[in-house]
Amino acid sequence: MTDLLHQHITSTDMVIHALSRDLDRTVLISDVGQVITAREMRDSISRFQQLVESLDQPPARAAVLAKNRVEVIYATNALGLAQVVLTTLHPMGSIDDYLYVIEDASIDTLVYDADLYEGIAKQLKDRAPQLRHFLAMGNGETGRDIVKASMAFTPKPLTTKPTKPDDVLRIAYSGGTTGKPKGIMCSQQSGFTSALIQQMEWEWPDEIRHLICAPLSHSGAAVLTSVLLRGGFMVVMPGFEVVAAMQMIEQHKITSVLMVPTMVIAMMDHPRFGEFDLSSLEVIFYGASSFPAQRLKDAIGKFGKIFFQFYGQAEAPMSITVMRRDEHDPDNLERLASCGRPTSLVRVALMDDDMNEVPDGTPGEICVRGPLLMAGYLNKPEETAVAFEGGWLHTGDVAIRSADGFLRIVDRKKDMIVTGGFNVYAREVEDVIVEQPGVRQAAVIGVPDPKWGEAVKAVVVLEPGAKVTAEELIAAVRSRKGAVQAPKSIEFVESIPVTPIGKPDKKALRLRYTA
């Protein structure tokens, strides 16, 4: 029997609370410019929830496939209220990617954007017989128009049924850069803890006008609860486009935005950067991948000290560590290369391979404990056991802790290069290369070598018109880091491939240069 007396609070309860007061305030400006109040958002979520609960054989697990549009926010919150376990499909995925997730997660319902994914929905209907319900956002042939059908319902107060802290809230899929994606089971407790850390430790403007340009299928929607609770509003862009983002910041006097580093770099390097008034920005939240220290210093010079970093992973969502705005010291590149210090709701240790804590200044794997952690990997008990070995979550990230507690990630454990018996951490080599004049971006990988086992290879993007030689870059690394870490070869390219969520795709690079 559920203990109602001590019933825990969920992130869904937070949204209900935020939409229960000041109902006439603006909470959302849609991708087509529609102004939406708290009352209108609450009522739309209620209608969607009632429609979902009215279906024959109501859904147990649903997947959402859409680019950024306000109906995604309505649908995902309605599914949460109806206690349907949610999975989001990446809008840039393939049919085979979607089929894998649908089968692995036992998805029975697809909610999709009819304007963009009608053809894919039809293929999934033909190839995924376990899908019982197809709900279209817009007029689709395969699915029922959930927007139109929901209007038959009269809005009711938002309610949800009691849950237990370890109940699965959603299943997120890893990027798959090291193999088949794993279904990461986020519990009610994990989702609530992530939202609570945002409330407690993220630096929000007093007046929040937040731009959503990151995918709502991933990090874009993660700030919804915080923005609503703090009385702010969001402006939704269909997707990230550099000039459009700067126009939106100027037009709506945006005070906060969440971006991956590649988005920030694309803005500040754009030839039209100086045409727009971006002075309203008070904070740029960034994470998901490393921000080269020299480029972050450049960004501070252009935007000011408005950067706030969060580090986490789907197994421990959003905020294992944070680095606040005033901790971004542009005169300290080692500090800028760090991911901050642990938040107050997690325990963090740097461990060696024998699960012993390493001293400050020594590389060790970031290991985490606490209520932020996932429940485990779906259908993968052996991989879950490995991830939780020794009673800690093993993040796979290798970091060095400074004397004042800042963690500097030097590599993914699986990406570490072993050359001639010595360990080389790619991030440290990348940071030296990017510091050199004329270098825009670098990715360092290990490639097979008959003498050394692996050889260090750097893939480099130069600034337009820059004249930089491989010999100069190799010499710079040798001078700073020693001969072992100096690249044996450097390839100059127009761009470095990225994963669907904006991280440099080292798996693709290794495949390219190994071949």
If one compares 246 and 509, the residue with the highest pLDDT of the two is 246
| Digit-coded pLDDT (tens) for 340-382 | 999 999 999 999 999 999 999 999 999 999 999 999 999 999 9
Mean pLDDT of the chain: 91
Least confident of 98-102, 233-237, 511-515: 511-515
15: nearest Cα among 154, 223, 161: 223
Q: Does a structural domain hold residue 237?
A: yes
- pLDDT value of residue 442: 92
| Digit-coded pLDDT (tens) for 183-193 | 999 999 999 99
Whether residues 130 and 68 share a domain: the answer is yes
Residue 76: which pLDDT band, with cuts at 50, 70 and 90?
A: very high
- pLDDT value of residue 502: 67
Angle at 72 between CA 135 and CA 218, to 5 degrees: 120
Whether residues 73 and 116 share a domain: the answer is yes
- pLDDT value of residue 178: 45
Q: Does a structural domain hold residue 25?
A: no
Whether residues 261 and 346 share a domain: the answer is yes
Q: Does a structural domain hold residue 142?
A: yes
Q: Which burial class, exposed, middle or buried, applies to 32 when counting CB atoms under 10 A from its CB (0-12, 13-18, 19+)?
A: exposed
Q: Report the distance separating Cα 486 and Cα 462, nearest Å.
A: 18
Number of domains present in the structure of the chain: 3
DSSP annotation of 392: S
Q: Does a structural domain hold residue 79?
A: yes
Q: Which residues of 191-216 are buried (b: 16+ CB within 10 A; e: fewer)?
A: bbbbbbbbeebbebbeebbbbbbbbb
Q: Does a structural domain hold residue 282?
A: yes
Q: Which two tokens stand for residue 256?
A: 């906060």
Residue range 45-67: average pLDDT? 95
DSSP annotation of 253: T
Consecutive H or E run containing 453: strand 453-462
Amino acid at 12: T
What's the CATH code of the domain at 61? 3.40.50.980
Q: Does a structural domain hold residue 17?
A: no
Residues near 330 by beta carbon (within 8 Å), at least 6 away in sequence: 297, 300, 301, 305, 336
| Digit-coded pLDDT (tens) for 146-182 | 999 999 999 999 988 889 999 999 999 875 444 578 9
399 strand-pairing partners: 364, 409
| For residue 416, pLDDT beyond 90 | no
Decide which of 414, 449, 480 is a domain's last residue: 414
Angle at 472 between CA 417 and CA 361, to 5 degrees: 40
Amino acid at 176: G
| For residue 417, pLDDT beyond 70 | yes
Name the pTM for this structure: 0.87
- pLDDT value of residue 349: 97
| For residue 132, pLDDT beyond 60 | yes
Residues near 250 by beta carbon (within 8 Å), at least 6 away in sequence: 276, 277, 278, 280
Q: Does a structural domain hold residue 180?
A: no
412 and 290 in contact (C-beta within 8 Å)?
no
Whether residues 378 and 479 share a domain: the answer is no
Least confident of 63-67, 275-279, 306-310, 453-457: 453-457
| Digit-coded pLDDT (tens) for 376-405 | 999 999 999 999 999 999 999 999 999 999
What's the CATH code of the domain at 198? 3.40.50.12780
109: nearest Cα among 90, 93, 94, 124: 124
114-127 and 95-104 helices cross at what angle (nearest 10)? 60
Decide which of 162, 179, 209 is a domain's last residue: 162
Q: Does a structural domain hold residue 447?
A: yes
Whether residues 377 and 444 share a domain: the answer is no
387 strand-pairing partners: none
| For residue 319, pLDDT beyond 60 | yes
- pLDDT value of residue 356: 94
Q: Which burial class, exposed, middle or buried, applies to 56 when counting CB atoms under 10 A from its CB (0-12, 13-18, 19+)?
A: exposed
Whether residues 255 and 353 share a domain: the answer is yes
- pLDDT value of residue 402: 96
- pLDDT value of residue 175: 59
Q: Report the distance separating Cα 261 and Cα 173, nearest Å.
A: 21
Q: Which domain holds residue 82?
A: 37-162
- pLDDT value of residue 5: 85
Q: Which two tokens stand for residue 323?
A: 């680095």
